[in-house]
Structure 1
Amino acid sequence: MINVVFLLLVFFMMTSQIASAPPFRLSPPTAVGGEGADGGLVLYVSAAGEMAFGAARGEAALAAIAALEPGARLTVTADGALAAPELAQLLQRMPEGVALTLTVRQ
């Protein structure tokens, strides 16, 4: 019986996926409640306005997002120190048909 337990333990350890670290240093906020992100496609925005989407950085990140299929779900994770007008300008530049989820980290 213990053999089965160890086999299951090894199976789950080998098939699990470790979350990747953000490309920028982000300070997480303290939250009262809410839903967590479901992973998947994430656009990271630093306090300086730098963008990262997968391996693409800067304007190439927006070009990579524009190449996504219509209806793709994208999570935008922005640093809390990013000015709101800059974030608003960035969101206006997002292509049509991409469903956005916004996460701000302070």
Structure 2
Amino acid sequence: MRLAHLHRTRAANEDDRVLPLINVVFLLLIFFMVVGSLSATDPFAIAPPQSSNGEPGDPKDIVLLIGTDGRLALDGRVLEAASLKSAMTERLVDAPAQEVHVKADGAAAATEVVGVMETLRAAGVERVRLMTVPGGVQ
């Protein structure tokens, strides 16, 4: 009869050693889920130019990417330059006063960036902001 009692105690002790480990693993899992954040990546690599005055953009605003090779992406979707005006007009139907953030690569041709900005104006965009990376004045 005494052996049965020892067997039950031993089984309980094995569970007692595993439970704190499981608790720690779940706490670490919850910690990394809360602390870690997922962010949307750009469809192609962009290295914006540096400026002495940089302000963070509002995540609700429209973001237009301009690559070094002239590729365009509107809110994470790659599109052709010819369809930019129609895509912007369609996007501005819901919120006509919305600001457009242009995130151009620092090595992109200035004439390309200006041409895209003129297309945005023709599509009815009233506010355009060129996004830059904060840096020191050189």
TM-score, normalising length: structure 2: 0.56
Provide the C-alpha distance between the structure 1 equivalents of 2:98 and 2:128, rounded to a whole number of angstroms: 9
Q: Residues 89, 97 of structure 1: CA spacing in aligned structure 2 closer, same or farther, 3 A cutoff?
A: closer
Over aligned residue pairs, what C-alpha RMSD do you find? Answer: 2.8
Amino acid at match of 1:38: D
Which has the larger share of strand? 1
Q: Which of structures 1 and 2 has the bigger CA Rg?
A: 2
Structure 1: state its 5+ residue gaps: 1-5
Q: Map 1:4-83 onto structure 2 (within 5 A).
A: 13=34, 18-29=38-49, 32-40=52-60, 41-54=62-75, 55-58=77-80, 59-67=82-90, 68=92, 69-83=95-109
Deviations 1:36-84 (A, max 9, x none): 1222321111011111113351133432211113101211100011111
Q: What SS is found at the alignment partner of 1:75?
A: strand
Is the CA contact 2:104–2:131 (under 8 Å) kept in the aligned structure 1? yes
Cα displacement (A) at 1:23: 0.9
Instruction: Name the count of aligned residue pairs.
Output: 96
- Please name the residue that 1:100 is paired with: 128
1:91 equivalent to 2:112? Answer no
Identity across matched positions, percent: 24
SS of corresponding position for 2:128: strand
- Secondary structure at 2:97 match in 1: coil
- What corresponds to 2:13 in structure 1? none
Separation (CA, whole Å) in 1 of partners of 2:126 and 2:37: 25
TM-score, L = length of structure 1: 0.70
Gaps of 5+ in 2: 1-26, 134-138
Moved segments of 4+, more than 4 Å: 28-33
Equivalent-residue separation in structure 1 for 2:125 and 2:65 (angstroms): 19
Residue 22 of structure 1 and its aligned partner are, at CA, apart by 0.9
